[in-house]
């Protein structure tokens, strides 16, 4: 399986250092982040390039150079720009698909508990699933387009880059396609 992520990319950073394509930032506020501090980290990715773009920029009504081509992408990394990377998810990594009714039933979950914005709820069931050690991560339907999957990987140490990160521009096909699908305005 190939998955995608938009992240603040620094071309001079090592892959697993801040700004690198395999860097996993410390968690805390994400949907399936650990309840206990530093018990585990999560790399959030999407099933398509469009999903990754939407997850990064979806909160903005207008996608322009200020949003997509921010310099820097984050003040913590002065040389950073937003980039799209693809990753090969080894088939040996079993990701629990919560978009499957049988999986939801087995986990004692209902759909509204998976996508609730109350992170104390989602982090509690995610921590419970993580503690069993049966899965390398979880997948669920994207808030922006339910046919896409958002994926959180706990077993990210085994992820490999499928292609080098590509710095994003407003004219990028993944940006334009994502904006069209989730109805965001592109301003050049």
17: which residues sit within 8 A by CB, 6+ positions away?
Answer: 23
For the chain, the farthest-separated pair of C-alpha atoms sits apart, in whole angstroms, at: 48
Pair 72, 8: CB distance under 8 Å: yes
In this prediction, residue 157 carries a pLDDT of 86
What sections of the chain are H helices per DSSP? 49-57, 65-68, 101-107, 111-115, 119-132, 173-182
Number of residues in the chain:
188
Dist CA 149 CA 138 (whole Å)? 10
> Tens-of-pLDDT digits for all 188 residues of the chain?
899 999 999 999 999 999 999 999 887 788 999 988 778 999 999 999 999 999 999 999 999 999 999 999 999 999 999 999 999 988 878 999 999 999 999 999 999 999 999 999 999 999 999 999 999 999 999 999 999 999 999 978 888 999 999 999 999 999 999 999 999 999 97
In this prediction, residue 25 carries a pLDDT of 85
Range of the domain at 162: 2-186
Q: pTM of the prediction?
A: 0.94
Domain count, the chain: 1
Give the closest residue to 30 by CA, choosing from 130, 163, 173. 130
């Amino acid at each position: 399986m190939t998955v995608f992520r938009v992240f603040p990319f620094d071309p001079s950073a090592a892959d697993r250092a801040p700004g690198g394509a395999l860097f996993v930032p410390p968690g805390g506020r994400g949907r399936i982040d650990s309840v206990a501090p530093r018990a585990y980290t999560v790399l959030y990715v999407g099933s398509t390039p469009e999903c990754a773009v939407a997850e990064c920029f979806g909160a903005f009504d207008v996608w322009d150079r200020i949003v997509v081509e921010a310099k820097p992408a984050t003040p913590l990394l002065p040389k950073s720009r937003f980039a799209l990377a693809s990753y090969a998810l080894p088939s040996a990594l079993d990701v629990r698909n919560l978009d499957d009714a049988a999986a939801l039933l087995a986990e004692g979950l209902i759909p509204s508990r998976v996508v609730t914005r109350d992170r104390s709820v989602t982090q509690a069931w995610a921590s419970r699933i993580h503690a069993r050690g049966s899965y390398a991560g979880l997948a669920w339907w994207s808030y922006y387009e339910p046919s896409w999957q958002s994926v959180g990987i706990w077993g990210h140490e085994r992820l490999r880059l499928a292609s080098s990160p590509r710095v994003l521009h407003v004219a990028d096909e993944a940006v334009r396609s994502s904006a069209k699908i989730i109805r965001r305005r592109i301003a050049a």
